[in-house]
């Protein structure tokens, strides 16, 4: 009965493997190796009293599955599991000697159902692993891209998002969740693909709502001139959930880069602001002149002058009444300007600057702010 069941199973099993190899791109060898190991493990688990090691050998050409018990031949009469005495081994194979491995074929009884279940599990697992690996391989090209996803699960710390057509799951860690944003199961949100980590069962696609790249990709989606290469985003500095500064430029003097990003009646920038939950966005014209760029980066404050005092370090002077605006709440405006330009910026009021000589700009003043 067992022989007939095994034979019937094999007659169906090997053609199915060939079909899967064609449809899913999974090699027959990978299936065979995984199944041999799984069947051996399943047999040992079902028949706990079985001695020796069990090997399973599948032959796709002959469409056979064979079980072998292997034991180490030893001279001692005190045997450990997986060993057989030389005396007993010689009754099975006369030419055998100590140190050899004795391999005996056997037909497992009442094992067909277990074997079929194991085969099914292995096949399904291999299909899942291969499809996941293939999808991850495709997603490796998505790093740094914007994707739309569906929130599938939210736990105490992490947010899990279905990406694409639900083939892969994105993980949004706490540090990648924007302050003030709430995520609920079923929400559709846009995320920035931060990193694709491959590696067996721990393969992950890490996504973010805090990365500066998210703002950049959202503007690329909203502004045709950016997609066409007519307007370029030169730099982005961001404090997620609060404020972003974005520097832009155009190689064509006929194109108003800022106007292109703002859009008619602010439609384009407002669409990005809405996606970011009301985060403020300053669009800054980029300049090759770093001092001019610093002055623009401190927007919305008016800047009277910018003076370089050291390498990548400058002093920006603003009207007294604009000092708090230039520095920003908790120093945010000056801090974002410094990140945007890559310069250390010392912000001073006109009245404070008048008390100092040019060489003394590094000295502290009561109403000043420094950002880097």
Dist CA 294 CA 312 (whole Å) = 11
Give me 270's structure tokens.
């407002």
Do residue 264 and residue 356 come from a single domain?
no
Do residue 36 and residue 104 come from a single domain?
yes
Angle between helices 28-46 and 112-139 in degrees, nearest 10 = 140
Q: pLDDT by residue for the chain (372 residues), tens digit each?
A: 344 445 565 566 677 667 766 776 667 777 777 778 777 777 777 766 566 688 888 887 887 888 888 899 999 878 888 889 999 999 999 999 999 999 988 877 766 667 667 766 777 777 777 766 766 666 777 889 999 999 999 998 999 999 876 667 899 999 999 999 999 999 999 999 998 876 555 567 899 999 999 999 999 999 999 999 999 999 999 999 999 999 999 988 899 999 999 999 999 999 999 999 999 999 999 999 999 999 999 999 999 999 999 999 999 999 999 999 999 999 999 999 999 999 999 999 998 888 765 433 343 344 455 666
Do residue 23 and residue 74 come from a single domain?
yes
Contact 307, 361 (CB under 8 A): yes
**pLDDT at position 359, please?**
38
Of 246, 270, 286, the residue at which a domain comes to its end is: 286
Main-chain dihedrals φ then ψ at residue 16, nearest 5 degrees: -65, -40
Do residue 303 and residue 347 come from a single domain?
yes
Contact 196, 175 (CB under 8 A): no
Do residue 176 and residue 220 come from a single domain?
no
Residue 197 belongs to a domain with what CATH number? 2.40.50.140
User: Across the chain, where does the E strand assignment appear?
Assistant: 53-59, 64-74, 83-85, 101-106, 146-154, 159-163, 168-172, 188-197, 204-208, 231-239, 243-250, 280-285, 305-310, 313-318, 344-349, 368-371
**pLDDT at position 235, please?**
97
Contact 26, 130 (CB under 8 A): yes
Do residue 118 and residue 153 come from a single domain?
no
Q: Where in the sequence is the domain holding 263, given as residue range(s)?
A: 211-286
Do residue 114 and residue 231 come from a single domain?
no
Do residue 282 and residue 216 come from a single domain?
yes
Of 156, 174, 207, the residue at which a domain comes to its end is: 207
Angle between helices 2-24 and 28-46 in degrees, nearest 10 = 140
Residue 321 belongs to a domain with what CATH number? 3.30.300.20
Residue 49 belongs to a domain with what CATH number? 3.30.1480.10
Do residue 30 and residue 115 come from a single domain?
yes
Dist CA 304 CA 301 (whole Å) = 10
Contact 314, 278 (CB under 8 A): no
**How many domains does one find in the chain?**
4
Dist CA 194 CA 291 (whole Å) = 32
Of 156, 185, 207, the residue at which a domain comes to its end is: 207
Do residue 311 and residue 372 come from a single domain?
yes
Do residue 25 and residue 114 come from a single domain?
yes
Do residue 130 and residue 178 come from a single domain?
no
Report in angstroms the alpha-carbon separations of 319 from 4, 13, 305, 333: 94, 82, 10, 16
């Amino acid at each position: 009965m067992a022989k007939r069941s095994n034979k019937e199973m094999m007659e169906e099993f090997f053609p199915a493997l060939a079909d899967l190899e064609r449809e899913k791109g999974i090699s027959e060898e990978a299936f065979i190796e995984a199944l041999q190991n799984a069947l051996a493990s399943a047999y040992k688990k079902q028949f706990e009293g079985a001695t020796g090691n069990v090997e399973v050998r599948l032959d796709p050409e002959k469409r056979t599955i064979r079980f072998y018990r292997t034991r180490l031949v030893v001279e001692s009469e005190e045997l450990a599991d997986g060993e057989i005495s030389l005396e007993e081994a010689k009754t099975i194979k006369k030419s055998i000697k100590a140190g050899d491995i004795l391999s005996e074929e056997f037909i497992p009884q009442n094992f067909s159902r277990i074997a079929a279940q194991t085969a099914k599990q292995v096949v399904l697992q291999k299909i899942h692993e291969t499809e996941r690996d293939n999808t991850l391989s495709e997603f490796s090209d998505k790093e740094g891209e914007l994707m739309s996803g569906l929130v599938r699960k939210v736990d105490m710390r992490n947010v899990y998002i279905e990406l694409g057509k639900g083939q892969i799951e994105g993980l949004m860690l706490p540090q990648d969740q924007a302050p003030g944003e709430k995520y609920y199961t079923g929400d559709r949100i846009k995320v920035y693909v931060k990193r694709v980590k491959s590696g067996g069962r721990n393969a992950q696609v890490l996504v973010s709502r805090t990365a500066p790249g998210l703002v950049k990709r959202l503007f690329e989606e909203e502004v045709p001139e950016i997609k066409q290469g007519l307007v370029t985003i030169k730099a982005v500095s961001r404090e997620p959930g609060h404020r972003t500064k974005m520097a832009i430029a155009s190689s064509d003097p006929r194109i108003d880069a800022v106007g292109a990003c703002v859009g008619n009646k602010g439609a384009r920038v407002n669409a990005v602001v809405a996606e970011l939950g009301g985060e403020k966005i300053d669009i800054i014209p980029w300049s090759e002149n770093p001092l001019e760029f610093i002055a623009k980066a401190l927007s919305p404050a008016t800047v009277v002058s910018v003076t370089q005092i050291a390498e990548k370090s400058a002093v920006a002077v603003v009207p007294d009444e604009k000092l708090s605006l230039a520095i920003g709440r908790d120093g945010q405006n000056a801090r974002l300007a410094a990140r945007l330009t890559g310069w250390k910026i010392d912000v001073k009021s006109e009245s404070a600057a008048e008390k100092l000589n040019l060489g003394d700009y590094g000295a502290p003043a009561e109403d000043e702010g420094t950002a880097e």
